[in-house]
Structure 1
Amino acid sequence: MDQLKFDVISYMESRQEFIFKRWKEKIIVPIEQDRETMIKGGHLLFKVMLHAFSLPKKNLESYLKLTAEDTEAKIIYKTSSISYIIYNANIIKNEILIEIAQYRAEWEDIKPIYIKFSDIIDQFLFNVTNCYNDVNEETKPLTEENHEERLTLLGQMTSSFVHEFRNPLTTIHGFVQLLRSENPELPYMDIILNELEQLKFRITQFLMLSRKEVLNHEITLFSLNDLLDQVASFIYPRLLEANVELERELEDNLYVNGYIEEIRQVLINIIFNAIDVLSEQMKASVIKIKGYKNEDESIVLQTSNTGPKIPEPLLNTIFNPFVTTKKTGTGLGLFVCKEIIEKHNGRLSCTSDDDWTTFTIQLPPAQMQEV
């Protein structure tokens, strides 16, 4: 290795602290990963780059491949998505190249070194991408199995806890109703009852997750129009609080065969999610519900809101368990909704653009002879 290359490596080692100080201010760390693990990945890239630069060309490719497959690197792959890895690696690449470009030498002399450093990092990231795909393909079945285990455990915990919690809540709800009937002049009783209803709704959500309780043991034929009237009355206080306008455009005589309480659960959950999103924005907010029959008599119900566009990566996983953007969310609401709709032989999907985010429920034609 000639003297200039040796001097550049020594210079880069001396500038390491400054490079990482700037890098740490710019990196993006995913929610599920701790910052220290991501920083460890940056230091690994820096170490690999300096050592690779000192190697002869014949050894370079095998070294970069083996390093990408190293146990230390695999730990990082398993705790982050490839998009974050590549993004943050490119930031440190830029910081490194900036330092090289500023080295005290003529540009014609430093240019080959600049290009070699860039090529080394690109080759290493290519190997990282291949190894990342291999590692995550190996762990995919395990990840799915863990999801099932977590759901089973959560179902057992919530089933036992929520049953105990619901008994005193039912008693409180009954006495509040009695108190209101005997003292209709008392203020705030409607508010108290509405809050209790919402609490019962949340409890119901967890009970449905446990899969040990069917809320309505009999499949009935019910009017979706009437059900939406009930849901609109239930959510009205939340709409007022969040300053959200509700618009409805429903064809007449929309009937559904199924468990009415479960469908109610789906509608309330989707609308509550929309209200939560819309309450965080300053512009005018609208939730639009549109219901109609397809040519095959299947029922389509679309719930749209004017909230921000859902990013494509999140849109692809939005119905998966434990996926949420809320600080206090469980990531189970939409998962439960999809399970309910599919149990009714229907489909639940979501689309999102800059104007509208729309959840579409499609249910099979109702058997009208059961009326």
Structure 2
Amino acid sequence: MDQLKDDVISYLQEKKTTILERWDKKAMHPPDQTGSGQLSTNSVGRFILKVALHGLSLSKAELENYLQANAYKLAKIKIKDNLGIETLVYNVNMARNMLVDELYNYPAHLKKLEHIFSQLLNIIDRFTFHLISHYCAIKNQMNEEKNRHINSSHEDRLTLLGQMTSSFVHEFRNPLTTVQGFVQLLRAEYPDLPYMDIISAELDQLKFRITQFLMLSKKQVVDQEKVVFSLNDLMDQISAFVYPRLLELNVSLKQELEQNLFVKGVQEEIRQVIINIIFNAIEVMAAESSEAVIHIKGYRKDGKIVLETSNTGPKIPDHLIKSIFEPFVTTKKTGTGLGLYVSKEIIEKHNGKLFCRSNDDWTTFTIILNAYDKQEGFD
């Protein structure tokens, strides 16, 4: 190190108290800077001054590692102090300005000090760069760990809630079955008793919702037997099932199905999926003043059965289309966000696909399943 630089370092060391006093008046002081083993704002000034002056005495090879290590140390300490990065950078820049101001008072021609000015500014600039980098990296790591903890806790609560709800739904299904049985007896003994059709239809829909939830909550140890069945016949059954709801909310159902559409699977599960899609459509259109129409189109294409269920309800926002099949995502005010998630799980279990597209005119849910011929079920 040349003699002039050595003299400048000694001079700045002697003026350290003056520099820190001036710096302290302009630095930002957070309201709470207490804490065992933590640096106060004034100590930050001494820390930066020490780094800058020692850095002047180091070679280029030594300097970068020295700045990296000390920037990491300061960033870690000030994060624990909960000091914002903007305050920290401001205080470093103030220390930089105080050093430069004092250097102007050094008794030597400024021309001779140019290389020292340049080196000092570079040291503090590099230190600031590493300080910001380490601060952001540490902060991001802390946020990721916090989010992992929050997500883990949330998943644990959902698991517990799911177990409790599943138990409740199981208990609820037993008296529901009893009520349905007595409704059937009443209809047999008093066929003209009013409102029995409405009661029966509402109970069927409640049973459907319970079955839908249980399909999500229970673990299937052994897959149910899959058989080849007529999608046309299934759609006739579904139409009869949803008819009271369509009539109640003045929704038109139009069907356009090719003949002899056969698929292989668990018929009750496929039924659950289609009814869920239709009920969703009915509910989203219930509050609309415009004409409510559900159009179901079924056809065979390239060895697949395609079933498209379209409705004239409001457009699903673009940002929700990709997440509409995720659990607890719903566009309905009273929706659980589980129906479409369960539906997608069922269709994918049948080696099929379920997806959605939506525009201002129609929202369409498309089911694609492997096509079968009737006789294949008897081979």
TM over 0.5: yes
| Paired letter, 2:210 | I
CA separation in 2, counterparts of 1:195 and 1:257?
30
Measured after TM superposition, the shift of residue 322 of structure 1 is 2.1
Is 1:330 paired with 2:340? no
**Contact kept? 1:244, 1:275, Cα under 8 Å:** yes
1:362: which partner in 2? 368
2:181: which partner in 1? 174
Which stretch shows the higher mean deviation, 342-351 or 188-197?
A: 342-351
| Paired letter, 1:248 | Q
Measured after TM superposition, the shift of residue 143 of structure 1 is 5.1
Measured after TM superposition, the shift of residue 174 of structure 1 is 0.8
**Contact kept? 2:284, 2:332, Cα under 8 Å:** no
2:355: which partner in 1? 349
1:311: which partner in 2? 317
1:243: which partner in 2? 250
CA separation in 2, counterparts of 1:182 and 1:204?
29
Measured after TM superposition, the shift of residue 264 of structure 1 is 0.8
With structure 1 as the length reference, what TM-score do the two structures score?
A: 0.62
Is 1:300 paired with 2:306? yes
Measured after TM superposition, the shift of residue 352 of structure 1 is 1.7
Is 1:209 paired with 2:201? no
Gaps of 5+ in 2: 1-27, 29-81, 94-123
CA separation in 2, counterparts of 1:295 and 1:76?
46
Q: Render the CA deviation track for 1:256-311: whole Å, top value 9, x for unaligned.
A: 21111111100111111112211232222221111000132x21101111222222
CA separation in 2, counterparts of 1:144 and 1:335?
21
| Paired letter, 1:165 | F
1:97-136 to structure 2, matched below 5 A, reads none
CA separation in 2, counterparts of 1:357 and 1:299?
19
| Paired letter, 1:209 | L
2:163: which partner in 1? 156
CA separation in 2, counterparts of 1:342 and 1:72?
36
Is 1:229 paired with 2:236? yes
Q: Secondary structure at the match of 2:228?
A: strand
Q: Secondary structure at the match of 1:284?
A: coil
Is 1:187 paired with 2:176? no
Q: Secondary structure at the match of 1:355?
A: coil
Measured after TM superposition, the shift of residue 154 of structure 1 is 5.2
**Contact kept? 1:220, 1:259, Cα under 8 Å:** yes
CA separation in 1, counterparts of 2:359 and 2:216?
30
| Paired letter, 1:289 | I
CA separation in 2, counterparts of 1:145 and 1:332?
20
**Contact kept? 2:294, 2:312, Cα under 8 Å:** yes
CA separation in 2, counterparts of 1:188 and 1:330?
29
Is 1:196 paired with 2:203? yes
Q: Secondary structure at the match of 2:268?
A: helix
2:269: which partner in 1? 262
Change (3 A) 1:230 1:215: farther
CA separation in 1, counterparts of 2:370 and 2:161?
31
With structure 2 as the length reference, what TM-score do the two structures score?
A: 0.61
Measured after TM superposition, the shift of residue 212 of structure 1 is 3.6
Change (3 A) 1:54 1:302: same
Larger radius of gyration: 2
Q: Secondary structure at the match of 1:366?
A: coil
| Paired letter, 1:199 | L
**Contact kept? 1:67, 1:73, Cα under 8 Å:** no
Measured after TM superposition, the shift of residue 354 of structure 1 is 2.4
Which stretch shows the higher mean deviation, 156-165 or 186-195?
A: 156-165
CA separation in 1, counterparts of 2:267 and 2:146?
42
1:280: which partner in 2? 287
Percentage identity across paired residues of the two chains: 58
**Contact kept? 2:299, 2:307, Cα under 8 Å:** yes
| Paired letter, 2:337 | G
Gaps of 5+ in 1: 1-9, 11-43, 80-138
CA separation in 1, counterparts of 2:250 and 2:209?
22
CA separation in 2, counterparts of 1:74 and 1:310?
36
Change (3 A) 1:256 1:189: same
**Contact kept? 1:310, 1:357, Cα under 8 Å:** yes
1:84: which partner in 2? none
1:103: which partner in 2? none
CA separation in 1, counterparts of 2:255 and 2:271?
16
Change (3 A) 1:152 1:176: same
